[in-house]
Amino acid sequence: MSQSTPNPPEFTLRSATPDPLTQSDAIMAYEFFYGRNPESAFVIEELRLKGVSKMLTTCMTCAEFEDKVVTPLQRGLPVRRGDHRRRPSAEQEAWLASYVQFTEDEEKALKEAKNWTEYFRALCMIGGIDVSAEALESAATTGQDGEPDEPARVGSSPQGPNGEIERILLRLDEVRDLLGEIESSVRRWSEKSHPTTTHPHADRPKRRPASRGKRGASRPDHPDSP
């Protein structure tokens, strides 16, 4: 089935945006949009030199973002990530807001997002990227060359026969993310409450074995012994 390439996002950028970006910006972009670290120093440098506008366009129109975010949203499926965060961190939100000028309503929609699925749905809508089920059906029935393509898959939207299953998968994904956060919190608490300590006798020198005479015989204790 042919997949349409999303239109470039249309965001209002802040007046003072660095061009080129820093390496930290490029790494943050990978973590934010893809939920992973960059695979090499080359891709970091490549993205860094694009500047803010082209960086956003590249990250939100590439095949990886379409597969991980756009297509699942169009099918009513949860956005799955590998970083086990339930939603963007405060640092990630501040990073994006430092370059993109959001209105009060847009900021509210992003803040109220309970998970990555809701957050990216709101962000795509703000940027003008169509993540509706109709967009997926249109891409399925019409190929990139304008010719009819294979029909849309039944149940690709929440209203289809598989809608209930997809809603259950969404809830399970939220529970998985929440358990990941709980596990991380417990691990941090355990490390702070029970710091690693060394055994009190770990540094005590070992006792040297008693010296022996020739052929392994013990030294006699009697003073008159030869």
Average pLDDT by stretches of 10, the chain with 226 residues: 59 80 94 94 94 93 93 92 87 95 96 95 94 72 49 41 58 65 72 62 57 52 52
164: exposed, middle or buried (Cβ count in 10 Å: 0-12, 13-18, 19+): exposed
User: What is the pTM (predicted TM-score) of this model?
Assistant: 0.61
Report residue 116 CA to chain centroid gap. Answer: 9
- What per-residue confidence (pLDDT) applies to 77? 93
The DSSP symbol for 62 reads S
Q: How many CA atoms lie within 13 A of 72 on its CB side?
A: 21
DSSP for 94-154 reads HHHHTTB---HHHHHHHHT--SHHHHHHHHHHHHT---SHHHHHHHHHB-TTSSB-SPPPT
Residue carrying structure tokens 């300590």:
197
63: exposed, middle or buried (Cβ count in 10 Å: 0-12, 13-18, 19+): exposed
Give the whole-angstrom CA distance, residue 70 versus residue 64.
9
12 close to 101: Cβ distance less than 8 angstroms:
yes
Show me where the domains of the chain are located: 23-195
- What per-residue confidence (pLDDT) applies to 133? 80
- What per-residue confidence (pLDDT) applies to 8? 82
Give the whole-angstrom CA distance, residue 125 versus residue 131.
8
